Structure 1
Amino acid sequence: MNQNQQLELSKEKVPLFKFILIGDQSVGKSCIVQRYQNEEFKHNIKATIGVEFIKKLVQVDKGLVELQIWDTAGQEQFRSVIRGFYRGSAAVFIVYSVNQKESFDQLSIWMNEIEQHAHPEIIKVLVGNKCDLSREVQTEEAESFMNNNKFSLFFETSAKTGENVEEAFIQSAKLVLLKYFSSESFRQATRVNKKSADPINIIKSFSETQSFEGQSPNIQKNQNQSSCC
């Protein structure tokens, strides 16, 4: 990063970037986010209903960036709601489970969602989670999918052990920052201020226009639905 870029970064203080995690139910998206946020792992975590989020400050070179990380539900009935959250996202993690071949086979469906609803320059990160378990998806197969679909990064992670979880977010944040300074269209598409990007405001706006099977997100979040992460 050159001096002019560092100056621009310092003027903006701490820039905010939206990340979104997508993929089938039970591939471990929530566990990845939990591991990254709290450095912990819990079994039988509740299934995500609609969307949930965290915020995290990340050190990139000599500066800080703030990540707003959106954890989305994998169930098909929430797809229409989730589509709105691609807007303004700088990076998308497409997650599958290495011990569940079906979740890998469904990646083409998620790729279609990205192509239709995300910015064309969004940083795409392929994540094979649960690499601590016996696998049904080989690394070579995933690497081939990555290359054929022009992903920027690929990681095999374990939310349980923490393997590659932090590294995936840090390396993605670096790529996002480089893209931010090199592409005007990307910069415009991902430029958000902290007020407009406040997760509470975003969820409120969606709850006023969308329904989660007839209920608001806040009501459904209180339901006890469990899923292996």
Structure 2
Amino acid sequence: MNQNQQLELSKEKVPLFKFILIGDQSVGKSSIVKRYKNEEFNYNIKATIGVEFIKKFVQVDKGLIEIQLWDTAGQEQFRSVIRSFYRGAAAVFIVYSVNLKESFDQLSIWLNEIEYHAHSEIIKVLVGNKCDLQREVQKEEAESLMNNNNFSLFFETSAKTGENIDEAFIQTAKLVLLKYFSSDSFRQATKVNKKSADPINIIKSSNKNESFEGQSPQQQQHQDSNQSGCC
């Protein structure tokens, strides 16, 4: 077995975690992903249609993990599709643009989406993107939102300059790994493999109305009560 084959074999054994980015259209989610993956910025990036994802191996302290980073569309018409992709996610990045107050005001809607469709222990990360532009949202406002809604981390980033992009994902990966080894329920809720995390399989699973992996009993009860209503 040559060195490249050994490397590929070792990568098959590393922990796999799903990270998902949500937020309104045009807040820069795709630009964040592109900057993180390729260290580049494109002014003419197209709007995401549905969901796209990349994968990346990341060194966390002395260990190696694999991240599947899911970039979701911000348009309302795609929201029902996006809900399927919360399954098994270890962390969710809720993104707004610091130069667009409306995107910040809409965060309550995205927080409700997380409440109903993600497992209860998902790590929430607040991201204020486009911090290189003139701001409409003050940092103190975002910090208040963070403290009042149980976010684990908060970053102001710029996909254009690269500010805090790597740091946001590295710090989140460290927190996810720590929680993975300290919480059995989190470990079960984020248990995915390469086959079950494939976009086609997630959509197929959603179409069969399967329950979300890692749902709390309260969430399952809420789902069941909705399905059993007579009207």
Instruction: State whether TM-score is above 0.5.
Output: yes
Residue of structure 2 equivalent to 1:27? 27
- Corresponding position of 1:143: 143
RMSD of aligned Cα (Å)? 1.9
The normalised TM-score by structure 1 is 0.83
Percent of counterpart pairs with the same letter? Answer: 85
Q: Which residue type is aligned with residue 193 of structure 1?
A: N
What secondary structure, in the 3-state scheme, does the structure 2 residue paired with 1:197 have?
coil
1:182 aligns with 2:182: yes
Q: CA deviation at 1:192?
A: 1.0
User: Which secondary structure does the structure 1 equivalent of 2:83 belong to?
Assistant: helix
CA distance in 2, matches of 1:206, 1:81: 12
Q: CA deviation at 1:198?
A: 2.7
Give the Cα–Cα distance (whole angstroms) in 1 for the partners of residues 44 and 23 of structure 2: 18
Equivalent-residue separation in structure 2 for 1:146 and 1:190 (angstroms): 23
- 2:112 aligned partner, one-letter code: N
Closer, same or farther in 2 for the Cα pair 1:195/1:161, shift >3 Å?
Answer: same
Partner of 2:5: none
| Contact 2:20 2:72 (C-alpha < 8 Å) held by counterparts | yes
Measure, in 2, the Cα distance between the counterparts of 1:202 and 1:112.
21
* Separation of aligned partners in 2, 1:43 and 1:209: 39
Q: Is the 8 A contact 2:48 2:71 kept in 1?
A: yes
> What is the Cα deviation at residue 206 of structure 1?
7.0
Q: Which runs of 5+ in 1 are unaligned?
A: 1-9, 211-229
Q: CA deviation at 1:202?
A: 3.3
Per the alignment, in what secondary structure is the counterpart of residue 57 of structure 2? strand
The answer to whether structure 1 residue 166 and structure 2 residue 183 are counterparts is no
For residue 208 of structure 1, report the CA deviation from its aligned partner: 6.9
Normalised to the residue count of structure 2, the TM-score between the two structures is: 0.83
Partners of 2:119 and 2:161 in 1: CA distance: 33
Q: Judge conservation of contact 2:181–2:187 (CA < 8 Å) in 1.
A: yes
Show the counterpart of 1:131.
131
Q: Distance in 2 between matches of 1:97 and 1:57?
A: 27
Aligned-pair distance for 1:13? 2.6
Runs of 4+ in 1 over 3 A off after TM superposition: 199-203, 206-210
**How many aligned residue pairs are there?**
200
Structure with the greater relative contact order (CA < 8 A, sep ≥ 6): 1 or 2? 1
